[in-house]
Amino acid sequence: MRLAVAGCGAVGRAVCELAGAYGHRVTALSDSTSAVASPNGIDVETVLGRKTEEGTVGDDDPASLPEADYDVLVEATPTTLGDADPGFTHVERALARDAHVVLANKGPVAERYEELRAAERESEGEVLFEATVGGAIPVLSTVADLGPENVTAARGVLNGTANFILSRMAAEGLGYEHVLSEAQDLGVAETDPTFDVDGTDAALKCVILANVLSEEGATLADADVVGITEITPNALSLAAEDGRTIRLVGEVVVGDGNPSVRVGPRLVPTNGTLAVSGTKNIVQLQTDHAGELNLSGRGAGGRETASAVLADVGRLS
Amino acid sequence: MRLAVAGCGAVGRAVCELAGAYGHRVTALSDSTSAVASPNGIDVETVLGRKTEEGTVGDDDPASLPEADYDVLVEATPTTLGDADPGFTHVERALARDAHVVLANKGPVAERYEELRAAERESEGEVLFEATVGGAIPVLSTVADLGPENVTAARGVLNGTANFILSRMAAEGLGYEHVLSEAQDLGVAETDPTFDVDGTDAALKCVILANVLSEEGATLADADVVGITEITPNALSLAAEDGRTIRLVGEVVVGDGNPSVRVGPRLVPTNGTLAVSGTKNIVQLQTDHAGELNLSGRGAGGRETASAVLADVGRLS
């Protein structure tokens, strides 16, 4: 397949680097200020070298990306809330010309799900977004296989940064601020970690799961979200005395009508399934016929997320 | 889709019971001595009632099943070794008339993989077999999504009966024979538990994984297999003193040429990922780009396995 990749952060770069090994070709790439396109495939190494050295991928306008030659638009620009732009506009323009869309950007799926599905219905193109929930972990493909109507609830640890911070605080008895700055030094937390530590990122993933399970078009505003910034070493040591620890747990329960979406710190057994350590993520699915399924692995990272993007591209082939 | 179901044990029954809810219709069903077919769909409740009361599903010859009207043959007869018949013959006849095949029967995939793929290449029909590895756990679909060439090793606990026995022996300090007969009373172990406790069942699943990862056409004869019958309570308590326990672990390592397949009792950390308890199964996949993925859930059971069969049928639609 010919891929147009919007976004040249860790995920966009990794998609470009791995595409060839999966039998695909990148025919266009954009970052926030520039773009490059070539119908026979861009020279990935040269373009990414230019990005590293000069900060731009080419001389074109990034707004021109959706008009390039491609079969699949890979939307990997940063997640934005509310109107979810520029991601949503990229997706809309790709679908309008009957191309497929694969999203790593959570915004359009979490904030404008109904419009996204409506645009897909009008198009010959299909929309897939495995990478938006749990990075490399095959959550959405498993839900699709089970049949969304057979999944009654989903629960999990869906933010690696928050999980790293809680794991380190519990293991070392250190305070939140101390561990956060350590995580920033290690590159595990971003300079602005707000979405990770206030629960927004985990909530967006839960909203996407809720949308897939219910087709009710929930948004972040429908989620009940608490972050980890108020967790103290004392709370963690009290939990430990009781054989428990604290994890930032997201939960989607489907019933009649709107699903409930909640994210917040929860006590979990220290050796229990949800007590994954470090940056690992886990998702538990409760199903009607298949019992409980647990899926865990790397929930973030450029190559890991790119692997989920390319699995979606493979499904469209 | 119209399904012909060969085999009326726990899995075949559950496929018949759930097919309607997944939007499919059972047009033929056989057990080892009888068969029934109706182009508009058999009356599942009546037929399964007859099976329970009279021991037969209808008045037809079971050999007639592959000639009924259907789109997908579901092969759920008991796994047999060597020639893998009658399962293999059912599959061959369905493919010869360009129907699809979904297997729950491990025999044809583990013992005659190359012939199976050759028959598939000659047919318009496709062959899928998610249910043969890990029951409800989406192992093979995850491998397909990742790309088999990107998976370097698979490791896991793949037999629920053996795992139940080892878990109980460790928890209660009881001997193998005692716990085995308890498991038989509970219906967790079969009257003849040979394939479960001698490692054959786990080895068949590993051979199937090896075949999917390498396309080298391995068979059970290529696997190095040790069972759990020699494990003593003393071995388990020695392990426990060291923070470990014993699990029947299967392992597939792919390199150049033939993959290595080994199954045997291994020491694993008591709170580690592989130390699943009871009848639970787990599979760990080592990948090139997506890190390590862990998938766990119910590895057996009629409805659980039927759910994997019906996910395969869904993929063919």
pLDDT digits (tens, 9 = 90+) for B131-145: 999 999 999 999 999
Report the alpha-carbon distance of residue A13 to residue B54 in Å, rounded: 64
CB within 8 Å of chain B, chain A residues 82-141 = 130, 136-138, 141
Task: Report yes or no: B143 at the A interface, CB cutoff 8 Å.
Answer: no
Domain locations in chain A as residue ranges: 2-135+303-316, 140-298
% of chain B with per-residue pLDDT over 90: 97
- What is the C-alpha separation between B3 and B128, in angstroms, rounded? 14
Phi-psi region of B82 (alpha: psi -120 to 50; beta: other; left: phi over 0): left
Q: How many residues does chain B have?
A: 317
Among B146, B293, B304, the residue with its CB nearest the CB of A291 is B304
Q: Buried b vs exposed e over A272-300: b needs ≥16 C-beta within 10 Å?
A: ebbbbeebbbbbbbbbebbbbbbbbbbbb
**Contact yes or no for B105/B133 (Cβ under 8 A):** no
pLDDT number for residue A214: 95
User: B314 to chain A: which residues are within 8 Å by CB?
Assistant: 145, 147
Q: Work out the average pLDDT over A165-170.
A: 96
**Amino acid A257: pLDDT:** 75
- CA distances B30 to A194, B51, B76, B225, Å, are 59, 10, 10, 33
Q: What is the pLDDT of residues A175-189, one digit of tens each?
A: 999 999 999 999 999
Active-site choice (A2, A100, A168, A205): A205
Write out pLDDT tens, residues A301-317.
999 999 999 999 999 98
ipTM higher than threshold 0.95? no
- Burial classification of residue A270, based on how many CB atoms lie within 10 Å of its CB (0-12 exposed, 13-18 middle, 19 or more buried): middle
**Inter-chain CB proximity B145 and A137 less than 8 Å:** no
The C-alpha atoms of residue A15 and residue A127 are separated, in whole angstroms, by 17
Do the chains contact at A287 and B293, CB–CB below 8 Å?
no
Residues of B in contact with A102 (CB under 8 A): none
Closest CA relative to residue A75, chosen from A317, A309, A315, A316? A309
A-chain CB neighbours of B130 within 8 Å are 145
pLDDT of residue A256: 77
Predicted pLDDT at B217:
94
Q: How far apart are CA B51 and CA B14, in angstroms?
A: 13
pLDDT of residue B255: 82
Confidence of residue B31 (pLDDT cuts 50, 70, 90): very high
Contact A314/B145, CB-based, under 8 Å? Answer: yes
Q: What is the domain class of A2-135+303-316 according to CATH?
A: alpha beta
A303 inside 8 A of chain B by CB:
yes
Domain A140-298 of CATH type 3.30.360.10: yes
Token readout for B131 is 């249910």
